[in-house]
């Protein structure tokens, strides 16, 4: 599969955001960004996608397109760097990482709430992601917790020293479940799942291919947590 992981889309989006914010009367709905809806008044992001029912354990709540749909709950055409840009537009701050060691977190990212809206048995329902994900070790749904704006990270293109790449775009990684550094959004370190331990609750989730809307908002708890302890 051919895909781009350059940061050009983010730079373009940031330019759009800057223009909108500089206007005397910026649009309440926010600037138009590809494959998501941004509402600055309600501080809400909506992303459309479809449910996946892969045969592998879950690693992602949401991936871009089909490259990782076998290990994702939902697949969407939204580009990760565009989601990152929309989160910045809501005033959210990503994790602060050590520039020399991206795996080292100096400050945790802002907390985020996520909901999923879809139709089941002829009715529209809105649930938390945890209601659709089971931990095989406990046979229970994963714990209730705000998500975290990880922000993935930039790294230099080995083929072009003047170009930076955004890891989440390279990996088609929108929202993770295992605390992966590639994630734009993921679970906090103490709540992240273990590899091979999470699966979709097929009784609670709708059939494969069902249309879904992922709703993302700043969590009520605004203050960032201290940087997590490093292993």
Q: Which two tokens stand for residue 4?
A: 């781009």
pLDDT digits (tens, 9 = 90+) for 182-193: 999 999 988 888
Return the pLDDT at 222. 53
User: Residue 152: is its pLDDT beyond 60?
Assistant: yes
- Residue 150 banded pLDDT, cuts 50, 70, 90: very high
Calpha distance 31→77 (Å, rounded): 18
- Residue 231 banded pLDDT, cuts 50, 70, 90: very low
User: Residue 102: is its pLDDT beyond 70?
Assistant: yes
User: Residue 29: is its pLDDT beyond 70?
Assistant: no
Question: Measured at the alpha carbon of residue 183, what is the angle toward residues 177 and 186, in degrees to the nearest 5?
Answer: 40
Closest C-alpha among 144, 103, 52, 116 to residue 228: 103
pLDDT digits (tens, 9 = 90+) for 58-98: 999 999 998 899 999 999 999 999 999 999 999 999 999 88
Residues 6+ apart with CB under 8 A from 12: none
Calpha distance 182→176 (Å, rounded): 8
pLDDT digits (tens, 9 = 90+) for 112-121: 999 999 999 9
Return the pLDDT at 7. 54
Return the pLDDT at 190. 83
- Kindly report the pTM of this predicted structure: 0.85
């Amino acid at each position: 599969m051919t895909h781009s992981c350059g940061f050009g889309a983010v730079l373009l989006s940031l330019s759009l955001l800057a223009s909108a914010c500089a206007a005397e009367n910026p649009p309440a709905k926010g600037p138009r960004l590809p494959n998501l809806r941004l509402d600055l008044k309600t501080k809400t992001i909506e992303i459309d996608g479809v449910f996946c029912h892969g045969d592998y354990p879950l690693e992602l709540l949401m991936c871009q397109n089909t490259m990782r749909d076998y290990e994702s709950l939902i697949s969407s055409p939204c580009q990760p760097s565009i989601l990152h840009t929309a989160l910045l537009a809501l005033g959210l701050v990503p994790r602060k990482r050590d520039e020399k060691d991206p795996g080292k977190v100096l400050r945790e990212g802002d907390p985020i709430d996520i909901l999923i809206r879809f139709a089941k048995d002829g009715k529209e329902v809105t649930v938390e992601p945890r209601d659709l994900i089971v931990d095989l070790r406990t046979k229970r749904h994963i714990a209730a917790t705000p998500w975290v704006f990880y922000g993935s990270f930039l790294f230099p293109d080995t083929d072009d020293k003047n170009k930076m790449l955004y890891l989440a775009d390279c990996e088609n990684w929108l929202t993770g479940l295992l605390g992966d550094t590639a994630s734009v959004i993921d679970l906090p370190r103490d709540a992240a799942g273990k590899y091979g331990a999470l699966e979709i609750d097929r009784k609670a989730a709708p059939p494969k291919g069902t249309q879904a809307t992922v709703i993302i908002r700043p969590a009520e708890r605004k203050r960032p947590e201290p940087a997590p302890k490093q292993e």
